[in-house]
Structure 1
Amino acid sequence: MIGTIHMRPGNEVKTKRARRLRGNSTDAEAAIWYHLRGRRLHGYKFVRQEPIGLYTVDFVCRDRRLIVEVDGGQHADSQTDVARDTWLRAHNYRVLRFWNNDVLGNLDGVLQTIATALAEAPPHPER
């Protein structure tokens, strides 16, 4: 007998929003996703445009509870982002934010920062 697969219940509105966002990636998001997808960064699994609570995050490594956000200028001094990051941190996520121009101009440095954060994080106990 094959074991039962337990899937978390979906939220249709959040799922549709995440799918739409995946189809509208910025150049910076596409560049970083190329290196995060398929366990390309040191074997860590990332997913993109993932609903977490009330928010949809750009990229998350669930095992290490690490969120990577790639932001454009509209996020400068955003109180919404401050509240969002506060909520995510209160739920045991770590958040790394990078500007689009940092990703496009220094991708190797951005990937090294992510790799370092992944190595420093203990695995999530439920995984």
Structure 2
Amino acid sequence: MPNHLNKTETLAASQIAALLEQFSPARARAILAKVSAAAEDDAPPPFARSVAGPLGKLDTPLKTWLDAGTADLFRRKAAMRKQDASAALRDCAYAWVHQKTYTVMAAEKALHDADAMDVLAHMTGPFEGRESGGPDQ
């Protein structure tokens, strides 16, 4: 599937192509690969907090290369699930490795945590004080 560029993107592509004309095709491909890898680097920004998942922090990136048609179809399917490509790829990896998607595992953990809080509340009884409208008012 062809990628359609807007006017600004087309101009940028033309300028890049003009700059690459001074290099051999092999060197031009190497330069484009380096720029492409840098553009797709999704490392967290400095000082960003890692997200905690059901099995620990989500702090290890996972990348791959696809043909344009498959990548476009993957993004469309992810969008139909109201996910971005990163979340869909995470779900695929978790489904393959753990036989459950990350989304399901996170929901199960949230339910487990809520159940644990309910059990704790049942065991300890209500703990509201006077200032919050507790039983002593």
TM-score, normalised relative to structure 2 = 0.24
Q: Which has the larger radius of gyration?
A: 2
Greater helix fraction, Structure 1 or Structure 2: 2
Question: Which structure is richer in relative contact order (CA contacts within 8 A, separation 6 or more)?
Answer: 1
Greater strand fraction, Structure 1 or Structure 2: 1
TM-score, normalised relative to structure 1 = 0.25
